[in-house]
Amino acid sequence: MCFQNLPIEFDEQGRAHLKKGVANPYDYKVENLEEREARLKDIAAKNGQIRDVDFDPVTRVAGALAFHSTVDLENRSVLETNSMATLFRGYEVILRGRDPRDAAFISSRACGVCGGVHSTASALSLEMALGIKPPPMGILIRNLLLSCEYLYDNPLHLFVLAGPDFSASLVRDTNPEIWEKAQSAPAKHSDLHGYNYIAEIMEDLNPLTGKLYLEALEMTRVAREAYVLLGGKYPHPETVIPGGVTTTLTPTMLSEFYLKICQFFDYAQKCVGVWDDIYDFFYECDPAYKRVGELPATMVDFGQWDHEDYYDATYENCNEWGEKRWSTPGAVVDGKLVTTRLQDLNVGTEEFVEHSYYENWTDAPFDTDLAGQPISPYHPWNKTTIPRPGSQNWKERYSWSTTPTWDRRVFEAGAYARVYISALAGKLPKSDYVQSTGSSLVLNVPKGANLPARRLEWKVPEVWNAFERNRARAYAVAFNLMVTLENWKRAQDLQKRGETQVHTPFEIPRKGRYRGVGFWGAGRGYLAHWCVIEDGLLSNYQIVTPSTINACPKTPWGEAGAYEQAVLNSPLLESNFSDAEDFRGIDILRVIRSFDPCMPCTTHVMVEGSDQVISREVTTCACGV
Amino acid sequence: MASILVGIVGYDPFVRSFPLGPSFLERLRATSWGDENVEICEFNWSPVAIVQDLQSRSAPLKRVVLVSTTDRARKPYSVHVRRWVPAPIAPDALQERIFEAVTGVVHVDNLLAIGAHFGVWPPEVFSVEVEFPFVNVGDYILQALDRVGSNGAQISDAEPDERTGHLIEQALRMTRQAVLKGAEGLAGLLPLHARDLTPVARFCHSHSVDAGVG
């Protein structure tokens, strides 16, 4: 029984249905946010230390995210937060009325960093709608391409985005007492990374000059080169299509691919060693760091990397083939795994727009999913994107992001979710490289150029906070790598057997209505594309990205989104400031960046008529000339 | 290997009528370049990835021409060409651009700055800039929704209007001159220094809350 808030129960066969006697099962109460504002005004009137701190734009988050917080500098606490997506993406609108075959190419442009995952989610969505089952080699190559995207994305976040927040140059400035301790603090994992003291690691996290920073940039090149070998180009590959891929697999291609991937063997160990040491050190300096970005561990992920023996593209069997993925789908609520079934994840999904610049839609054409189970009028298959630009108003509308919920809860999305859920579920297919224990994930990293083979183990942490998100992301590099090796080995076996077909041909039916959903994941987590095809054209196309989920505004019933909640829960531990003028807000930024935000993923147009100051115009991906 | 590269930065590949869009790219690809070996590239993704591509080229480039829309407070819908003047950029400022670049911001200024830091630019780099007040495709879509309703295909397939057509011609002419003649072919060519780039905003603003502001 995974639903606690939606009035859904299950029969003996595990099929969901609405509870009897509930008159309006999907009704909800809209909370008045006036009271919040009145409370803040009252505090402000009594306390001169209250400050508004606007991160506008949060430059490192692509300029399309602004984050407003109200902080009490005297008591070092955060009083109020609002996360704003300041741009609108037009993809759902552009795709309406187009040939379904355009979807993979167009939706790929939703992000300039990770375009391949959108192509794949789109392909999966059409495969389900039209009953297209790719051949095994097509599935495996798609998996290998995904691995490359993750191997590109996660190190980039760890060392180029989040890393500078823990670098010597920054910590010296914001928390000199921690820098002082770092000089003599031994690094426990010097056998993995070669550093003797924490201060040495911090020096090499310095942006532009630090060895770890520069090495991460170089590793992104290696991952991209591996992608290009199989995918032709990156980002925005044109080889990922419904039914598989269009790659022409040559006899040497997989060997060349391996030569790229094996460069990550040592690097994966180094990622784990560096970030284990950094975060453990911060906890030792001040246990209050465990509260930075703290949230109950509530997250959803669809799992990725389909198993070629099980994936058949049908909704009917998606619970089975989903649980055979190389990362397990699931929902975790307050640290407890409540389901691993894709249908449950789909049935519990809703999207709300009460605090977003969109109109609520009135037409909900579908009462059920493809298995006859109930879905909400607010489910993406029922959603119509109706933009409604307007002024920013904290009590009403303030973001171009919508508010996705699962079982009427906000949740988190991230690379860490696939680590967390896969560890808890204990359902990974048998592999020499990766095993799930039910409370941890065991990763058997092979010998690299300089380091011996090693067994790494990520354990479910006692607390869930900004540092643990990043730590799990560091282990995700090794997890990705192990899944890559498993799939590479399987692809080699297929090639030896001559099973090299990579694509299943298909046609778009000219008549009839078809639905599909592509359950997938970006480097940053949860990604799904829902499509409705009518008489040969897309009549509806909806995309939910990880940043939509994490950066969402409040729910209609007043529950804050993940960024908002996590910042609200954070103590302000920055020590080296005298007044608001030299307050850096580093703890708040560490929280936001722990989610690996990427706002081009979410939105694409400036708010018209807003009183929000957008201090820099940027041309995000898929925009411009 | 091409000796001259034309990079389109921030071009939208799907909305035909959105300036300058696929129409410009089609015209560019149909252009005759005489004896010059010219490669037309889409640079509509992370500048870091583009820089890495340029680093991996085996033969040096003679010239690079980047074409983009910009908002530098000039007369709207005017077209300008400037020559990039390489100079060191302050590490903090450069890091801000890298932060943006790796999270998906596509902007010619970031590309120029990051490319300069990693030493990928040949001696001659030109920026063909179309001054355009609305630079986001979503703006265009929102406006178009009022005109044509919710048919997305109709929005994205619409042909450019007369003004956009004129801009395309101007941008094409200047790009061609920059490609074929370099600095010699462009009268009144202005330099583009790092200080001329749109600054990356300070991201933390702090102000007192008064009792009237929530």
Domains along the sequence of chain A with CATH: 8-16+59-601 (1.10.645.10)
Contact: A580, B208; criterion CB under 8 Å = yes
Q: What is the DSSP string of A70-122?
A: EEETTTTEEEEEEEEE-----HHHHHTTS-GGGHHHHHGGG-SS-HHHHHHHH
| Rounded average pLDDT over A537-547 | 93
Separation of alpha carbons A547 and A65, rounded Å: 10
Q: Which pLDDT value is given to residue A613? A: 26
Q: Closest partner residue to B45 among A89, A208, A236, by Cβ?
A: A236
Q: Which pLDDT value is given to residue A274? A: 98
Residues of A in contact with B207 (CB under 8 A): 51-52, 54, 580
Give the pair of three-digit tokens for residue A402.
């919508």
List all residues 6 or more positions away from A65 whose beta carbon is below 8 Å from its beta carbon.
A57, A58, A83, A84, A85, A86, A547, A551, A597, A599, A602
Q: What is the ipTM of this complex?
A: 0.82
Residues of A in contact with B14 (CB under 8 A): 94, 106, 109, 622
Question: Which of A538, A619, A620, A621 is the best residue to mutate to test the B interface, defined by the most B CB atoms within 10 Å of its own CB?
Answer: A619
Contact: B138, A156; criterion CB under 8 Å = no
Chain A residue with CA closest to B140: the answer is A605
Sort B163 into a burial class: Cβ within 10 Å, 0-12 / 13-18 / 19+.
exposed
Separation of alpha carbons B2 and B58, rounded Å: 10
Q: How far is B121 from chain A (nearest CA, A)?
A: 18
B133 vs A181, residue with greater confidence? A181
Contact: A90, B71; criterion CB under 8 Å = no
Separation of alpha carbons B77 and A590, rounded Å: 40
- Compute the Cα dihedral for A226, A230, A235, A240 and give only its sign: negative
Q: Closest partner residue to B135 among A111, A115, A617, by Cβ?
A: A617
Which residue is associated with the tokens 């911001």? B105
Least confident of A304-318, A342-356, A393-407: A393-407
Using only C-alpha atoms, chain A has a radius of gyration, in whole angstroms, of: 24
Confidence of residue A82 (pLDDT cuts 50, 70, 90): confident
Which residue is associated with the tokens 């996290």? A205
Q: How far is B125 from chain A (nearest CA, A)?
A: 19
Contact: A96, B152; criterion CB under 8 Å = yes
Q: Which residues is B105 bridged to in the sheet? A: A620
Contact: B150, A96; criterion CB under 8 Å = yes
| Rounded average pLDDT over A440-468 | 97
Residues of B in contact with A604 (CB under 8 A): 136-138
Separation of alpha carbons A597 and A599, rounded Å: 6
- Given a cut of 50, is residue A542 above it in pLDDT? yes
Total residues belonging to chain B: 214
Tell me the count of A-B CB pairs closer than 8 A. Answer: 254
Sheet with strand A50-55: strands edge to edge: A77-85, A65-72, A50-55, B204-208
Contact status, residue A403 vs residue A410, Cβ threshold 8 Å: yes
Confidence of residue A64 (pLDDT cuts 50, 70, 90): low
Contact: A619, B106; criterion CB under 8 Å = yes
Q: Is A331 helix (H, G, I), strand (E, B) or coil?
A: strand
Q: Which CATH class is domain B4-196?
A: alpha beta
Q: Closest partner residue to A616 among B130, B155, B200, by Cβ?
A: B200
| Rounded average pLDDT over A380-400 | 86
Which range, A21-30, A57-66, B65-74, B191-200, has the best average confidence (pLDDT)?
A21-30
Least confident of A12-16, A75-79, A254-258, A501-505: A75-79
Contact: B48, A621; criterion CB under 8 Å = no
Least confident of A6-10, A276-280, B33-37, B122-126: B33-37
Is B90 at the interface with chain A, CB within 8 A?
A: no
Q: What is the DSSP letter of A157?
A: I
Give the pair of three-digit tokens for residue A73.
């500098």
Sort A617 into a burial class: Cβ within 10 Å, 0-12 / 13-18 / 19+.
middle
Chain A residue with CA closest to B167: the answer is A625
Q: Closest partner residue to A615 among B10, B201, B214, by Cβ?
A: B201
| Rounded average pLDDT over B139-155 | 74
Q: Which pLDDT value is given to residue B49? A: 85
Phi/psi of residue B176, nearest 5 degrees: -65, -40
Confidence of residue A124 (pLDDT cuts 50, 70, 90): very high
Contact: A51, B208; criterion CB under 8 Å = yes
Confidence of residue A28 (pLDDT cuts 50, 70, 90): very high
Contact: A235, B138; criterion CB under 8 Å = no
Window 105-144 of B: residues touching A by CB (8 A cutoff) are 105-108, 117, 130, 135-142
- Given a cut of 70, is residue B109 above it in pLDDT? yes
Q: Which pLDDT value is given to residue A55? A: 45
Give the pair of three-digit tokens for residue A307.
């198993």
Ranges of each domain in chain B: 4-196
| Rounded average pLDDT over A602-619 | 25
Q: Closest partner residue to B138 among A55, A80, A90, by Cβ?
A: A90
Q: How far is A488 from chain B (nearest CA, A)?
A: 25
Residues of A in contact with B138 (CB under 8 A): 87-90, 603-606, 623
Q: Closest partner residue to B12 among A41, A59, A623, by Cβ?
A: A623
Contact: A88, B95; criterion CB under 8 Å = no
Q: Closest partner residue to A93 among B139, B145, B211, by Cβ?
A: B145
Chain mean pLDDT for chain A: 88
- Given a cut of 80, is residue B10 above it in pLDDT? no
Q: Closest partner residue to B100 among A54, A62, A220, by Cβ?
A: A62
Confidence of residue A413 (pLDDT cuts 50, 70, 90): very high
Chain mean pLDDT for chain B: 81
Q: Strand ranges (DSSP E) for A429-522? A: 434-436, 440-445, 454-459, 513-522
Which residue is associated with the tokens 């000339």? A625
Window 158-197 of B: residues touching A by CB (8 A cutoff) are none
Least confident of A212-216, A299-303, B70-74, B139-143: B139-143
- Compute the Cα dihedral for B175, B176, B180, B185 and give only its sign: negative
Separation of alpha carbons B112 and A335, rounded Å: 46
The DSSP element (H or E) to which A339 belongs, if any, is: strand A336-339
pTM: 0.89
Least confident of A35-44, A87-96, A151-160, A270-279: A35-44
Q: Which pLDDT value is given to residue A616? A: 24
Q: Is B15 helix (H, G, I), strand (E, B) or coil?
A: coil
Contact: A37, B91; criterion CB under 8 Å = no
Q: How far is A255 from chain B (nearest CA, A)?
A: 21
Q: Which pLDDT value is given to residue A36? A: 62
Which range, A77-81, A505-509, B84-88, has the best average confidence (pLDDT)?
A505-509
Q: Which pLDDT value is given to residue A393? A: 77
| Rounded average pLDDT over A441-453 | 97
Chain A residue with CA closest to B17: the answer is A625
The DSSP element (H or E) to which B66 belongs, if any, is: strand B63-70
Q: Closest partner residue to B136 among A92, A95, A604, by Cβ?
A: A604
Window 7-66 of B: residues touching A by CB (8 A cutoff) are 8-15, 19-21, 24, 44-46, 48-49, 52, 56
Burial annotation B58-75 (CB, 10 A radius, 16+ → b, else e) = eeebebbbbbbbbbeeee
Residues of A in contact with B199 (CB under 8 A): 616
Least confident of A72-86, A425-439, A581-595, A596-610: A596-610
Separation of alpha carbons A334 and A460, rounded Å: 12
| Rounded average pLDDT over A19-48 | 74
pLDDT, one tens digit per residue, over B18-31 is 666 778 888 899 99
- Pseudo-torsion of CA B17, B22, B27, B28, nearest 10°? 130
pLDDT, one tens digit per residue, over A555-565 is 999 999 998 89
pLDDT, one tens digit per residue, over B154-202 is 777 777 788 888 888 999 999 999 999 887 777 778 899 998 887 765 4
Q: Which residues is A514 bridged to in the sheet? A: A533
Q: Which of A230-233's residues contact partners 24+ apart within 8 Å by CB, and which partners? A: A230/A141, A230/A144, A230/A145, A230/A148, A230/A257, A231/A116, A231/A145, A231/A148
Contact: A623, B94; criterion CB under 8 Å = no
Contact status, residue B45 vs residue A108, Cβ threshold 8 Å: no
- Compute the Cα dihedral for A290, A292, A296, A298 and give only its sign: negative
Give the pair of three-digit tokens for residue B29.
């690809």
Q: How far is B136 from chain A (nearest CA, A)?
A: 5
CA distances in angstroms from A42 to A48, A580, B206, B207, listed in the order given: 11, 20, 19, 17
CA neighbor of A492 nearest in space, from A254, A320, A303? A254
Contact: B138, A207; criterion CB under 8 Å = no
CA neighbor of A347 nearest in space, from A367, A321, A374? A374
Q: Closest partner residue to A87 among B138, B199, B213, by Cβ?
A: B138
pLDDT, one tens digit per residue, over A464-513 is 999 999 999 999 999 999 999 999 999 999 999 999 999 999 999 999 99
CA neighbor of A207 nearest in space, from B199, B89, B49, B45? B89
